[in-house]
Amino acid sequence: MISKNVKKNFLTNLFIVLSIFLLDRFSKIYVIYLDDKFIDSEIFTSKFLNIHLIWNKGIAFGFFSFDQNHLYNFLTFLIIFICIILFFMILSSIGSKRYFLLMVFGGALGNLFDRIYFRAVPDFIDLHIENLHWFVFNIADIFITLGVFMLILLEIFFSKKKHEKT
């Protein structure tokens, strides 16, 4: 059953993951280029949105940032393990759950690539209202957050109906 699902949707799944990964890669490369060109991390500033480059060595939204190599390496291996688990969850899922998992997987691969290549993840989107700033994030973080949020909504609203039928 799993192999039948994989063959049937392989190109669609690959397209989704690759699109998210490439959108994330191109946005980060462009922001890094602008940062180097202008020699300043303040690339764009407006009333609610700033684009400025920061290098995140932690996990989501800068949590657990540290300079110790062994902790960084442990965290990277943990993220690789989570990506492997996500991959197998995608193989066994169907419907909208699969697409939400693909969003999380595509974003996770984007950030994992940066952790390995740069030893940090470039974050650059800074949403704020006056001096109240949200965590600085990137395109991959958007897809991870949106995918997880949709999975939670799916579990809350559709898992309940599933249990009522039994």
Residues across the chain = 166
What are the beta bridge partners of residue 56? 121
- Neighbouring residues of 140: CB distance < 8 A, sequence distance ≥ 6: 20, 24, 106, 107, 108, 109, 110, 111, 121
* From 35, 114, 123, 126, the catalytic residue: 123
Is 141 labeled as catalytic in the residue annotation? yes
What's the confidence (pLDDT) of residue 62?
52
Give pLDDT tens digits along the chain (166 positions).
Answer: 556 655 668 899 999 999 999 999 999 999 999 998 877 667 888 899 999 999 988 765 455 555 677 888 888 899 999 999 999 999 999 999 999 999 999 999 999 999 999 999 999 999 999 888 888 999 999 999 999 999 999 999 987 655 555 5
Check: CB of residue 48 under 8 Å from CB of residue 125.
no
- Catalytic residue of the set 35, 114, 126, 141: 141
The reported pLDDT for the residue numbered 67 is 60
Residue 86 C-alpha from the chain's centroid: 12
pLDDT on residue 1: 52
Burial class (CB in 10 A: 0-12, 13-18, 19+), 66: exposed
Range of the domain at 149: 2-165
The whole-model pTM stands at 0.84
98 and 10 Cβ atoms separated by less than 8 Å: no
Quote the number of domains for the chain: 1
pLDDT of residue 74: 86
Distance CA 88, CA 86 (A): 5
| Sequence-ordered strand ranges (E) for the chain | 42-45, 49-56, 121-129, 132-133
